[in-house]
Amino acid sequence: MYALDTMSHLNSVADCKSQLRKTPLRIVNHPEDVRHSPDFAAVRKSLLEEASGKTLLREYFVDSSGLGASDEPAMTFNNFKLEVSRLLAIADERHDRLYSALTGVGQFQVYVSIFTSGSDREAYHVED
């Protein structure tokens, strides 16, 4: 018999897998692909990572209004595209695939999480 916490976790993973079947993570072949990322703001990132079988590389806080400046906490979309381009270059060398999802949505900013099909986060020079 499983503990109540274990049963709750297994149910959460099953719910997330069901949601992923309806709306899968967005495959990123070009930085602009991230604009069409599915909204998983209601799902914990660790649960999304476990249910999808992908490795979370990094979460970015990005301006979604188009009015943000480079001196503000949220990255401008142009700066974000440069960062995604860097990750895509590494993924291409490693023959990995990148995926994206919105993991937080506000009025003017979003949190964009980038996942990989590979398991080696260190290859992407990602610091926590």
- Give the model confidence (pLDDT) of 6-54 as tens digits: 777 777 778 777 878 888 999 999 999 999 999 999 888 888 998 999 9
Q: What is d(CA 18, CA 75) in angstroms, rounded to the nearest whole number?
A: 32
Q: For CA atoms 118, 125, 51, 15, give the dihedral sign.
A: negative
Whether the predicted model's global pTM rises above the 0.75 cut: yes
Which residue is listed with tokens 């291409």? Answer: 92
Domain count, the chain: 1
Q: Measuring CA to CA, which residue among 33, 28, 41, 42 is closest to residue 87? A: 28
Q: What is d(CA 36, CA 48) in angstroms, rounded to the nearest whole number?
A: 18
SS3 of residue 111 by DSSP: strand
Report the pLDDT value the prediction gives residue 17, as an integer from 0 to 100.
79
Return the structure tokens found at 20.
């992923």
∠ CA 96-103-88 to the nearest 5 degrees? 25
Domain span including residue 42: 4-124
58-110: pLDDT as tens digits: 999 999 988 888 888 899 999 999 999 999 999 999 999 999 999 999 999 99
Q: What is d(CA 67, CA 54) in angstroms, rounded to the nearest whole number?
A: 32
Which residue is listed with tokens 């993924």? Answer: 91
Q: What is d(CA 17, CA 111) in angstroms, rounded to the nearest whole number?
A: 21
